[in-house]
Amino acid sequence: MKILYRFFVVWMFLAACFGGAVSAQTNSSQNTNPAVTEDYLTWTESRAESVGKSMRENGKAGSVFDFRVIHTDHAINYKMRATLMTPEVIRATARLEQIRNRLSEEETRKLVVEAEEAGNLVVMVEIDPREGSGVIPLDWRVFLQPKGFKPGGPGAVAGVKSPQFRKIKALAGVSRRDYDYDVFWVSFPLVDENKKPLFADNLSEFDLFVGIYNKEGQVSWRIPESIKQKTKELSQ
């Protein structure tokens, strides 16, 4: 009986050690993905602004010079900004809302959930017409495609204009609103109807193209791991 008892004690000790090691390893693995942690709830205002602006890129649709004489029905060119609403940017925006409006942690989590359920991948596009007509046509277009692909090549994904996202606070970005720019929200799918990823797992960068009349602007992003992870989850 003493031998059995000692064996039982040793077995329980080893089980506790290995179980704790596995648990610690699992938690460590999970914590490497900022999209599944709650560290953002402790970010300072400056930290949240830095993360939120990290995916904001500037561009321009159209050339600098336009030698038109009487055709003033559209702008010479368009200044453009685009923000890729990654899980990190969404959390940064929600954190600023929490700080500025004294939200509870639970209210802040709800902002994140609401934003992430809005679409697979959301981009906030800001457009400012330069001279001529300040009206942006309803048929302006937007595409996301692998870096370096030529227009008309395979792999382009059309964006869906989603004005209803204007009401979602965690998709508003962290920068102050510049009223020279009109703001639009566009949603892109990450997988097709068969749950097949639309972008290859080894793709490192993609381009956003914004077309207005015969003018086209472009910005680029390196694809963060959080977007790749979200694609994997959607494809399962």
More confidently predicted of 10 and 48:
48
pLDDT at position 77: 85
| Contact by Cβ (8 Å): 111, 170 | yes
| Contact by Cβ (8 Å): 78, 184 | no
95-135 pLDDT tens trace: 999 999 999 999 999 999 999 999 899 999 999 987 655 67
For tokens 């204007």, name the residue.
166
Ramachandran angles phi, psi of 215, nearest 5° = -110, 145
pTM of this structure: 0.80
Task: State the pLDDT confidence band at 150, using cuts at 50, 70 and 90.
Answer: confident
| Burial class of 206 by CB neighbour count within 10 A (0 to 12, 13 to 18, 19+) | buried
For tokens 């508003």, name the residue.
172
Q: What is the mean pLDDT of the chain?
A: 83
More confidently predicted of 138 and 47:
47
More confidently predicted of 124 and 76:
124
pLDDT at position 130: 78
The answer to whether residue 221 scores a pLDDT higher than 60 is yes
pLDDT at position 133: 52
The answer to whether residue 235 scores a pLDDT higher than 60 is yes
Q: What is the mean pLDDT of residues 182-206?
A: 94
